[in-house]
With several copies, the nearest count.
Chain A
Amino acid sequence: MKRLMNAVDTLLDESLDGLAAAHADILELGAERKFVRRKVLTPGKVALISGGGAGHEPLHAGFVGAGMLDAACPGQVFTSPTPDQMVAAIEAVDTGAGCLLIVKNYEGDVMNFEMAGELAVADGRTVETVVTNDDVAVPKSTWSTGRRGVAGTLVVEKIVGAAAEQLAPLEALRDLGREVNERTRSFGVALTPCTVPAAGKPTFTLAPDEMEVGVGIHGEPGRRRSKLASADAIADEMLGAILDDLAAPAGSQCLLLVNGFGGTPLMELYLMVNAARRILAGRGMTATRYLTGSLVTSLDMAGCSITVTALDERLTRLWDAPVKTAALSW
């Protein structure tokens, strides 16, 4: 494992300090680095709070700022943050209009946010939760953990963030978040594994000609391992899984998010954009909005995920609404 770091134990703290220094106009760290918060809060606005294990940068702290999150709680690499962090974040950014917790569907994240929510509610606050589960590589199910929340989470954060900025009430934002999640599907493919710094060796191994199809954002194995295929064939399988599950009517407009996992050059991501938009067109869908970049990453893993969100006019407007965060700005 080759890393630009000083020590495994201080990696996260040092990185957070760098983030805070570089974006002091937008965000600041909470005490003991328990959370990253917006510099300036809007009284009367519902507070949007997310969080999760580190290693997915810029998710979530990079999405703190006007038009998106009010606070993000960073856990250790690939490990959910803890309820004390979330409670501290809630206390720091709740201006009285309530808090919406946006949580990726991993038992760790869900349970820790749940405990935090219980503590905040016991403290007299109003808290609602949206759990994202956009990863179609895992079958949906009510009797098991079900689908993982992956890159689609950023779409939920952006769209709900825009609506929150317009002072929509808590329940409406929760419902909007669930609607966006319902309209969103993702699928990932890894060409190389990632290495958790504390573990020091790759989470899995792939032969030089293999890829992991349906990989999760922690390098969790996916649907199957197979021979490395062409970009077109990979995009075909990814969008096949996404669109079959999304079942959007032909003629639908959508957002296409091609997301790099950390070790994949932008040149390849744009090539995947090109492949994806042709396949979408072939299925009678039009990508009317695009986002391309390494935004929901898995440390140094090579590969990418594709996310499709079925848009309507309202969601498109909210997507286009201004945003000013460390990682997204328009």
Chain B
Amino acid sequence: MTPEHLHKLIVAVADAVIAHADELTELDQAIGDGDHGVNMRRGFEAVRADAAATAEKPLPDALKAIGTQLVMKVGGASGPLYGTLFLALGKTIAPDASNIAAAFAAAVQAVEARGKSHPGQKTLLDVLAPVQAALADGGPHLPARLPIVAAAAADATVPMLATRGRASFLGERSIGHMDPGARSSALMIASLCRALEELDLG
């Protein structure tokens, strides 16, 4: 992966998050405190601003740099969680990304540890975990299939009862709304996969 390629990927993900910030905030207004989009935009604007410099680094260092920026800029619950995701990815991934499935599995583990949470609690893990499983299963056309997995997984959070995150304070009233973090995870995965397809590196 060249710096140009990496730059395109970073910008694609950042732009997708920024473009959907209002939607994320609206989801968070329904069952949270109405700032998920604001938080994510703040973080990904910082990531985007540094994208050129970040893309010059080897992949592990680039991922760690993004993770650090998210930790420092996003705040809220999603900051440490997405920050941990990228930091852990950076820690285990090979410079050529050859071990992506294993690295992603380790990163999702790290998020679970940070959040003291697991899939089924109506959080971003309900998207990250099935995506990780699909990645582990492998097979052809992953960049085309993963966004579908992610979107379906995000939709599947709608009927769930939240037991982690602010939505858990709502009890039964959390049912019937999509989890904002699940939606932002699905967004990031979709934009990353689309960019990979465009680069034809998939």
Name A's B-contacting residues (CB within 8 A): 53, 75-84, 106-108, 111-112, 114-115, 137-139, 141, 143-145, 148, 196, 198-199, 203-204, 216, 218-221
Asked if A198 meets B38 with Cβ closer than 8 Å, knowing A145-B163, A148-B169, the reply is yes
10 sampled A-B residue pairs with Cβ under 8 A: A53-B75, A77-B35, A80-B79, A82-B71, A108-B77, A108-B78, A115-B71, A115-B83, A143-B163, A218-B166
**How long is the Cα–Cα vector from A107 to B33 in the complex, in angstroms?**
12
- CB < 8 Å neighbour of B114 from A106, A111, A196: A111
B166 touches A83 (CB 8 A): no
**How long is the Cα–Cα vector from A216 to B25 in the complex, in angstroms?**
18
Residue B90 is within 8 A (CB to CB) of chain A in the complex: no
Asked if A112 meets B80 with Cβ closer than 8 Å, knowing A82-B74, A145-B163, A220-B166, the reply is yes
- CB < 8 Å neighbour of B77 from A76, A106, A220: A106
Interface size on B, residues (CB 8 A): 33
Our count of residue pairs bridging A and B at CB distance below 8 angstroms stands at: 110
A78 touches B35 (CB 8 A): yes
B35 touches A115 (CB 8 A): no
B38 touches A84 (CB 8 A): no
Asked if A80 meets B75 with Cβ closer than 8 Å, knowing A107-B165, A144-B168, A196-B33, the reply is yes
Q: Which interface residue of B35, B83, B121, B170 has the most chain A CB atoms within 10 A?
A: B35
B34 touches A78 (CB 8 A): yes
Which A residue sits closest to B123, measured CB to CB? A107
**How long is the Cα–Cα vector from A106 to B77 in the complex, in angstroms?**
8
Which residues of A sit under 8 angstroms from B170, Cβ to Cβ?
220-221
Which B residue sits closest to A198, measured CB to CB? B38
B80 touches A108 (CB 8 A): yes
Which residues of A sit under 8 angstroms from B74, Cβ to Cβ?
82
Q: Taking the nearest CB of chain A, how far is it from the CB of B119, in angstroms?
A: 14
Name B's A-contacting residues (CB within 8 A): 25, 29, 32-35, 38-39, 42, 71-81, 83, 114-115, 121, 163-166, 168-171, 173
Which A residue sits closest to B121, measured CB to CB? A144
A83 touches B72 (CB 8 A): yes
B29 touches A203 (CB 8 A): yes
**How long is the Cα–Cα vector from A108 to B83 in the complex, in angstroms?**
12
Which B residue sits closest to A196, measured CB to CB? B34
A81 touches B75 (CB 8 A): yes
Asked if A107 meets B77 with Cβ closer than 8 Å, knowing A78-B34, A79-B35, A199-B38, the reply is yes
Q: Taking the nearest CB of chain A, how far is it from the CB of B27, in angstroms?
A: 12
Which A residue sits closest to B83, measured CB to CB? A115
Q: Taking the nearest CB of chain B, how far is it from the CB of A299, in angstroms?
A: 11
- CB < 8 Å neighbour of B80 from A111, A218, A220: A111
B32 touches A80 (CB 8 A): no
Q: Which interface residue of A107, A114, A144, A148 has the most chain B CB atoms within 10 A?
A: A107
Which residues of B sit under 8 angstroms from A78, Cβ to Cβ?
33-35
- Extra contacts, 4 of them, besides A76-B75, A216-B166 (Cβ < 8 A), are A83-B71, A108-B77, A111-B80, A219-B33
**How long is the Cα–Cα vector from A324 to B35 in the complex, in angstroms?**
33
B79 touches A216 (CB 8 A): no
**How long is the Cα–Cα vector from A130 to B82 in the complex, in angstroms?**
25
**How long is the Cα–Cα vector from A189 to B151 in the complex, in angstroms?**
37
B38 touches A220 (CB 8 A): no
B38 touches A83 (CB 8 A): no
The 9 closest A-B pairs by CB, nearest first: A144-B163, A111-B80, A108-B77, A218-B33, A108-B76, A79-B75, A107-B77, A145-B168, A198-B38
Asked if A196 meets B79 with Cβ closer than 8 Å, knowing A107-B166, A221-B173, the reply is no
- CB < 8 Å neighbour of B35 from A137, A138, A198, A216: A198
Which A residue sits closest to B87, measured CB to CB? A115
**How long is the Cα–Cα vector from A114 to B73 in the complex, in angstroms?**
16
Asked if A111 meets B77 with Cβ closer than 8 Å, knowing A106-B166, A144-B163, A145-B168, the reply is yes
**How long is the Cα–Cα vector from A82 to B170 in the complex, in angstroms?**
25
